[in-house]
Amino acid sequence: MARDLVEGTLADAGLSAEGLDGVDAGLQGLIDKGELAGAVTLVARHGRIVRRSVLGVDDRDTGRPLKTDTLFRIFSMTKPVTAVAMMVLHDRGLWTPEDPVSKFLPSWKNMRVFTGLDANGEPQTVPADHDPTVGELLTHTAGITYGSTDEPLDRLYKAVNIWNSANLAEFAAKIGALPLAYQPGSKWVYSLAMDVQGAIIEALTGQTLADFMHETIFAPLGMVDTGFYAPDDQKHRLARLYRSSTTGPGLKSLDRSPMLGDHLSPPKVPSGGGGLVSTLDDYARFAQMILNRGELGGVRIVSPEAIALMTTNHLSDALINGGYGVGAMAIRPGFGYGFNGAVFTDPVAAGLPVGRGTYEWDGAAGTWFWVDFENDLIFVGMIQRFEISGKMTNAQQFTQKLLADAIVPGA
């Protein structure tokens, strides 16, 4: 029986109070400078939770406090959850990384690659070398984009209004009807791939993505507050959302999310790439399950082999050495990419003192987590500052550096 995630002492976990205090002080410094309203964090090692920190406030105008059970929009921290949902189906033998996406989504067959616009503004294309595979979809190398820029191809995404679809099947079909941005497997480009995975999950199971995640992940793990929206009787727990000011330092409060709706009602198109709300403890249980190689408290979600496949780098040396991604969405030196999350392939090159093979990702409103297999440690951080280019807090990197100082040698 695999261990559960339980309360413990610093001695149980081999962590020092001084080191953990340093993590809190670093985040408190951002709050004091007005860069964050507040933050909640959780640290666990050897299956023992030794620190939950609640810093700052939820709402700066009213002084409403943050709580450990505050509901946060986790945006792209949804992606690893979708990866686990895919791995459940992989364990059932329903797909392989080599399968073409068109095996499950017929509109993705015989795809073409965008080469530019002609003199009349019409898109020009060439045949794809091969139809995108599921493995490429899981690693952001399938040839699609996020459709969010003013580049010519992204304008095609906007023209078909992909998010105004009746369901995930229609959403994926609209993307499949568009040309690819590049030959599949030739680049790493942050994309809507995890949302398309949601359509595959629904096609394979006959269930909605929300129902499948609840049945196979949330309910078995005791993630009682995680889902695609905050119900009416829980919406008061949803954290206040902020955005970095565009005119100077500080924060601007937002009346609603800049993306993916208000998280107050069931979405027509549940986003496997960014649609979940969750809590600190819920996500910690998910992270501990990954650390336990697919099991928590005697409940197995996926096989150890599935977790190994998900948390192993799948990018070729040629692709990594060629550089890929831009800005906040770049994979930096020392990193690779597993399924729906980044993997530390060389912590020294990354300049961060975590274990080799650490799996991590973050979200658009600043939430972040990592699973460090070598150090038997998880960390979850929740804030609600919607990021804009050039305004990142880098909380993930500095908390990794500070937390390394908390590990007692040999413990």
CA angle 278, 31, 62 (to 5 degrees): 70
Tokens matching residue 119: 């003199």
Mean pLDDT of the chain: 93
Please enumerate in sequence order all residues whose Cβ is within 8 A of that of 150, keeping only pairs 6 or more positions apart, or say none: none
| pLDDT (0 to 100) of residue 230 | 95
Task: Give 62: exposed, middle or buried? Use CB within 10 Å, 0-12, 13-18, 19+.
Answer: exposed
pLDDT digit string, tens, across residues 70-81: 999 999 999 999
Q: What is the DSSP string of 71-122?
A: BEE-GGGHHHHHHHHHHHHHHTTS--TTSBGGGT-GGGSS-EEEEEE-TTS-
Q: What is the DSSP string of 125-180?
A: EEE-SSPPBHHHHHTT-SS---S-SSSHHHHHHHHTTTTS-SSHHHHHHHHHTSPB
| pLDDT (0 to 100) of residue 247 | 72
Taking a C-beta distance cutoff of 8 angstroms, is the pair 368, 386 a contact?
no
Compute CA distances 297 → 205, 212, 300, 358, 392, whole Å. 26, 21, 8, 22, 36
- Three-class SS state of 257: coil
Model confidence at 185, pLDDT cuts 50, 70, 90, reads very high
Characterize 181-195 residue by residue with b for buried, 16 or more Cβ atoms within 10 angstroms of its Cβ, and e for exposed: bbbbbbbbbbbbbbb
Taking a C-beta distance cutoff of 8 angstroms, is the pair 350, 344 a contact?
yes
What is the residue type of 199?
A
DSSP state of 204: H
| pLDDT (0 to 100) of residue 401 | 93
Q: Is the model's pLDDT at 37 over the cut of 80?
A: yes
Compute CA distances 197 → 78, 137, 352, 377, whole Å. 12, 7, 31, 28
pLDDT digit string, tens, across residues 324-353: 555 555 677 899 999 999 999 999 999 999
Nearest to 239 by CA among 81, 65, 368, 392: 65
DSSP state of 343: E
Q: Which residue has tokens 């946060």? A: 72
Exposure of 146 in the CB half-sphere (CA atoms within 13 A): 16
Nearest to 106 by CA among 182, 191, 29, 169: 169
What is the residue type of 211?
D
Residue 115 to residue 126: CA distance in whole angstroms = 7
Residue 132 to residue 199: CA distance in whole angstroms = 15
Characterize 119-135 residue by residue with b for buried, 16 or more Cβ atoms within 10 angstroms of its Cβ, and e for exposed: eeeebeeeebeebbbbb
* Residue 254 CA, distance from chain mean position: 22
Q: Which residue has tokens 């995630």? A: 5
pTM assigned to the model: 0.96
Q: Is the model's pLDDT at 391 over the cut of 80?
A: no
Q: Is the model's pLDDT at 246 over the cut of 90?
A: no
Model confidence at 1, pLDDT cuts 50, 70, 90, reads very low
Residue 62 to residue 343: CA distance in whole angstroms = 40
Compute CA distances 394 → 112, 229, 262, 278, whole Å. 38, 27, 26, 21
| pLDDT (0 to 100) of residue 393 | 60
Q: Is the model's pLDDT at 112 over the cut of 50?
A: yes
pLDDT digit string, tens, across residues 160-178: 999 999 999 999 999 999 9
